Amino acid sequence: MIDKDLELYYRNASDMFATQGWKTLMSDLENNANNINSVEYTKNGEDLHFRKGQLSVLGSILTLENQLREAEEQALIAEDYEDEAA
């Protein structure tokens, strides 16, 4: 059985992903990522590294929903496997 705290975490995240606010945030972040990813506005090497860091953070947030859904699926598969082994 999945830990109750983990189950609650996944449920709360799923509820959040379903909100209009989350969808708006994702749209805004995707637009920001497109602007940050433009080398046209990169001034120098330091700015390039800064932009790389920004894109890394944005990428983590933009893929959070899929990451958590996959983690939940893996937890459920592991739970099924443990139930079958018992």
CA–CA gap between residue 27 and residue 51 (Å, rounded):
19
Q: What is the pLDDT of residue 71?
A: 94
Radius of gyration of the chain, Cα coordinates, nearest whole angstrom: 18
CA–CA gap between residue 76 and residue 82 (Å, rounded):
10
Q: Do 27 and 61 touch, CB atoms closer than 8 A?
A: no
Summarize pLDDT for 32-79 with one digit per residue, the tens: 998 898 888 889 999 999 999 999 999 999 999 999 999 999 988 888
pLDDT value at 86 more than 80: no
User: Does the predicted model carry a pTM greater than 0.85?
Assistant: no
CA–CA gap between residue 83 and residue 33 (Å, rounded):
43
Q: What is the pLDDT of residue 40?
A: 85
Q: What's the mean pLDDT in 15-31? A: 97
